[in-house]
């Protein structure tokens, strides 16, 4: 018999975004509720550049954060629930 596990989260379950430096592994987390004014462009531990001044990834991240905050505010009275399917973690 084959089994499949699907894990979904709602927009309201998204609490923060987290960055982990690939060089020094320092973790920087930013609450989604405070996403406006997010301006971290480099690693706070190793000072590695994460975003350049005109980096398109930075613009995309800003747009995602604005959209997620908007969803949290406007979907409260919607006639549907928006969920995201995520990869389930294997049991240790």
Per the prediction, the chain carries an average pLDDT of 83
**Whole-model pTM?**
0.67
Q: How far apart are CA 20 and CA 1, in angstroms?
A: 38
Judge contact between 18 and 28, C-beta under 8 A: yes
Pinpoint the alpha helices (H) of 1-92: 56-74
Q: Give the whole-angstrom CA distance, residue 37 versus residue 50.
A: 17
62 Cβ neighbours under 8 A, 6+ residues apart: 38
Q: What is the pLDDT of residues 52-76, one digit of tens each?
A: 777 888 888 888 888 888 888 888 8
Say what the pLDDT of residue 92 is.
Answer: 44
Secondary structure class of 23 (helix, strand, coil): coil
Q: How far, in Å, CA of 15 to CA of 65, rounded?
A: 11
The answer to whether 71 and 81 are in contact (CB under 8 A) is: no
């Amino acid at each position: 018999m084959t089994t499949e596990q699907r894990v979904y989260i709602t927009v309201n379950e998204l609490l923060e975004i987290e960055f982990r430096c690939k060089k020094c592994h320092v973790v920087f987390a930013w609450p989604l509720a405070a996403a406006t004014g997010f301006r971290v462009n480099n690693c706070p531990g190793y000072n590695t550049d994460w975003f350049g001044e005109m980096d398109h990834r930075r613009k995309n991240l800003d747009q995602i954060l604005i959209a997620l905050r908007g969803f949290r505010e406007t979907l409260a009275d919607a006639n549907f629930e928006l969920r995201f399917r995520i990869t389930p973690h294997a049991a240790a």
